[in-house]
Amino acid sequence: MESAFKKFASEFKERFDVDGEDHAYKILGVQKSASMSDIKKAHRKLARETHPDKGGTEETFRDVQEAYETLKKVYAFRERQAGGGAAAGAA
């Protein structure tokens, strides 16, 4: 019963992008196969470009920040699930 629920939950999440993961990859302009290092680099670059003090808008800057935070949480969760420890992947 539990495995059936896990399968359903996984399919639901994948189909409806519940955590915003797909959207976050698009905002940061990285592939789903990107490493956390690649995601950080893309975030830093976009944060500099979209920062309100550098001519960007608050909304765009906020979107970039939220996308990065979303992917950071997703990667940390995956590390915990894989047995990498609570602190692994978070940085």
Residue 7 lies inside a defined structural domain of this protein: no
pLDDT in tens, 23-63: 999 999 999 999 999 999 999 999 999 999 999 999 999 99
Residue 8 lies inside a defined structural domain of this protein: no
User: Which has more confidence, 50 or 1?
Assistant: 50
Q: What angle do CA 51, 18, 11 make, to 5 degrees?
A: 140
- 18's CB contacts (< 8 A; 6+ apart) are 12
CATH code for the domain of 39 = 1.10.287.110
Q: Give the residue numbers spanning the domain of 89.
A: 20-91
Q: What angle do CA 31, 16, 89 make, to 5 degrees?
A: 45
pTM over 0.85: no
Nearest to 91 by CA among 80, 76, 74, 81: 76
Per-residue burial over 8-22, b if 16 or more Cβ lie within 10 Å, else e, is: eeeeeeeeeeeebbe
Domain tally, the chain: 1
Residue 11 lies inside a defined structural domain of this protein: no
